[in-house]
């Protein structure tokens, strides 16, 4: 017969969960103390994400609605960040632009790292002709500058949000594959891998249970680094006309829509999206440096 639940048994059952929660909070507090710049990066990215998600409720105006009576208007009480050449509120466009810019940066970095890591892990672990052919293809892709390769992919795929993410992810793939491959080549000779083979584990199980977790740390670091780089390159594609198109709003598109002469007469059109890009890239780099320091065994003793 099952004993009845009492306050004591309920409290005892909830104790492990409460202990785990307290342990997580202590770990977060330790990270904030040891890596204050990394914690600052997390806060900035979290604020950016909240702004992007709550854009319909935060933005004071419709970002696509222009005002013919307020073209290139400077910051004022009605439009805190001024208006662009079409009379659209810069603050609203900046808030909505966070959605696309962060989505492009996160999507491109994750897609590039995941695809590159999968190629690097599988081909390096299996070896043979597949590894040789894959690495020669990676060498060919690495021969192109990142922006040039992304521009070529965007021109082939066409200007749309999914295509921009794929185009920006393509230059990340060979770099992530190289990092994953170098880690796997070291791990293949490790004792625990040999032990897993001796116990009859399949190659897929070894790669998923033993190889992937040991390559996760460097891949996580480069994913955060390429998040900011993808946002910068998305802005470059917008400037070249191969990125996000109107009426969508992104920080890069806001900057590309202002000609040089207009930027000189109405600098607020360029300054605010430029500051948003700089702040986001800085935050992602600070987070990447903090993660690297926390996960690097050589730095754990310092």
Instruction: Report pLDDT for 96.
Output: 92
The pLDDT of residue 269 is above 50: yes
The pLDDT of residue 56 is above 70: yes
Distances (CA, A) of 128 to 23, 108, 137, 139, 183: 45, 30, 15, 17, 17
Instruction: Report pLDDT for 296.
Output: 64
What's the CA gap between 249 and 280, in Å, rounded? Answer: 17
Instruction: Report pLDDT for 257.
Output: 63
The pLDDT tens digits of the residues spanning 18-46 come to 666 666 666 666 666 777 888 888 899 99
How is domain 98-302 classified at the CATH fold level? MetI-like fold (1.10.3720)
The pLDDT tens digits of the residues spanning 131-155 come to 889 889 998 999 888 888 999 998 8
The pLDDT of residue 14 is above 70: no
Distances (CA, A) of 198 to 27, 190, 209: 37, 13, 15
Put simply, whether the predicted model's pTM sits higher than 0.85 gets the answer no
- Token code pair at residue 31: 């990270």
Instruction: Report pLDDT for 170.
Output: 93
Domain boundaries, given as residue ranges, for the chain: 98-302
What's the CA gap between 167 and 157, in Å, rounded? Answer: 8
The pLDDT tens digits of the residues spanning 182-241 come to 888 888 878 888 888 888 878 788 888 888 888 888 888 888 889 989 998 988 888 888
């Amino acid at each position: 017969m099952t004993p009845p639940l009492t306050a004591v048994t309920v409290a005892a059952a909830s104790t492990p969960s409460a202990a785990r929660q307290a342990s997580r909070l202590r770990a977060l507090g330790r990270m904030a103390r040891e890596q204050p710049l990394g914690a600052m990066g997390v806060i900035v990215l979290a604020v950016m994400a909240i702004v992007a998600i709550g854009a319909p409720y935060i933005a004071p105006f419709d970002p696509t609605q222009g005002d013919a009576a307020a073209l290139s208007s400077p910051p004022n009480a009605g439009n805190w960040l001024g208006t662009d050449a079409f009379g659209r509120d810069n603050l609203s466009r900046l808030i909505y632009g966070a959605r696309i810019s962060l989505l492009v940066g996160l999507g491109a970095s994750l897609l590039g790292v995941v695809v590159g890591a999968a190629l690097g892990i599988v081909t390096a672990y299996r070896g043979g002709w597949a590894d040789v052919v894959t690495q020669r293809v990676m060498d060919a892709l690495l021969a192109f500058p990142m922006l040039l390769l992304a521009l070529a992919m965007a021109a082939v795929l066409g200007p749309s949000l999914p295509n921009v993410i794929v185009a920006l992810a393509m230059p990340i793939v060979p770099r992530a594959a190289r990092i994953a491959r170098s880690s796997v080549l070291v791990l293949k000779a490790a004792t625990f891998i040999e032990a897993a083979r001796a116990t009859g584990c399949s190659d897929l199980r070894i790669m998923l249970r033993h190889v992937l977790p040991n390559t996760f740390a460097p891949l996580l670091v480069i994913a955060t680094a390429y998040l900011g780089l993808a946002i910068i390159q998305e802005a470059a594609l917008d400037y070249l006309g191969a990125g996000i198109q109107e009426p969508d709003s992104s920080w890069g598109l806001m900057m590309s829509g202002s000609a040089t002469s207009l930027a000189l007469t109405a600098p607020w059109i360029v300054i605010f999206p430029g500051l948003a890009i700089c702040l986001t890239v800085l935050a992602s780099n600070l987070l990447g440096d903090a993660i690297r320091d926390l996960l690097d065994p050589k730095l754990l003793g310092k």
